């Protein structure tokens, strides 16, 4: 899927990080996740940057423990275990280290593990996702193919042509910058960058889902 390949590119040093709203991008190994890059949040300067190394250090978790934590918190591939929220999930992994040990210690009368809860397969999907061969990828900052963008986004996907052409013009203007570090041309002069932890971010997501009576997302077919 797109996030997995993007995470692999960033992990290989071919990109600074990954711009996505999907928190699983960190679980896939992206060193940096940048959120709110589009829409009204970006226009307000509310861009969030999450550094994986700082998250692991803050939790004092290994990457394997972090992956197990994210599975317990809820991911694209599995439901959560009802009754185990962010706080209990962190405590469980901190105490027992692995999902296997967590499940062994669970009070079966209090917590019900969903049927066919294949955490081992999900863990493998995070640890060894199917991605493009990043060693063969050579990223170059070229002129945007405006007509190709219009043909695909407008002709095939129904996007507004005027909006697409405006974004292509912005890309061309950004290309003229002397350094990639000058992000103010894209985000505006009042960029706000903040770092958070995955547990706190997922806590907000889980809380919002709970208010709607929803459950964690199940596996998506055909990729994101």
Average pLDDT, the chain: 82
pLDDT score for 195:
52
Q: Which tens digit of pLDDT belongs to each residue from 27-40?
A: 999 999 999 887 66
Q: Give start and end residues of each alpha helix (H) in 60-145.
A: 63-73, 86-96, 99-105, 119-127
- Mean pLDDT is lowest, of 108-117, 132-141, 207-216, for 207-216
Q: Which tens digit of pLDDT belongs to each residue from 78-125?
A: 889 999 999 999 999 999 999 999 999 999 889 999 888 999 999 999
Contact criterion met (CB below 8 Å) for 82 and 202: no
Residues 158 and 161: their CA atoms lie apart, in Å, by 9
Residues 52 and 71: their CA atoms lie apart, in Å, by 16
Q: Is a pLDDT exceeding 90 seen at residue 63?
A: yes
Q: Model confidence at 13, in pLDDT bands (50, 70, 90)?
A: very high
Task: Decide which of 210 and 64 is more confident.
Answer: 64
Domains of the chain by range and CATH? 2-134+189-211 (1.10.150.20)
Contact criterion met (CB below 8 Å) for 43 and 188: yes
Q: Is a pLDDT exceeding 60 seen at residue 221?
A: no
């Amino acid at each position: 899927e797109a996030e997995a390949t993007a995470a692999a590119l960033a992990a290989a040093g071919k990109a600074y990080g990954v711009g996505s709203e999907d928190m699983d991008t960190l679980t896939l190994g992206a060193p940096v996740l940048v959120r709110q890059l589009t829409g009204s949040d970006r226009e307000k300067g509310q861009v969030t940057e999450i550094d994986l190394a700082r998250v692991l250090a803050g939790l004092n978790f290994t990457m394997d423990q972090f992956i197990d934590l994210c599975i317990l918190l809820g991911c694209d591939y599995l439901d959560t275990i009802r009754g185990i929220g962010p706080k209990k999930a962190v405590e469980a992994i901190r105490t027992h280290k692995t999902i296997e040990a967590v499940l062994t210690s669970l009070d079966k009368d209090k917590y019900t593990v969903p049927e066919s809860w294949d955490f081992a397969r999900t863990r493998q999907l995070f640890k060894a996702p199917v991605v493009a061969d990043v060693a063969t990828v050579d990223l170059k900052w070229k002129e945007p193919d405006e007509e190709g963008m219009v043909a695909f986004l407008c002709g095939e996907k129904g996007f507004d042509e005027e909006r697409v052409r405006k974004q292509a013009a912005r890309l061309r203007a950004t290309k003229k910058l002397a350094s990639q570090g000058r992000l103010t041309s894209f985000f505006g002069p009042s960029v706000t960058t903040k770092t958070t932890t995955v547990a706190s971010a997922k806590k907000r997501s889980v809380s919002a889902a709970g208010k709607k009576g929803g459950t964690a997302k199940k596996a998506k077919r055909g990729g994101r």
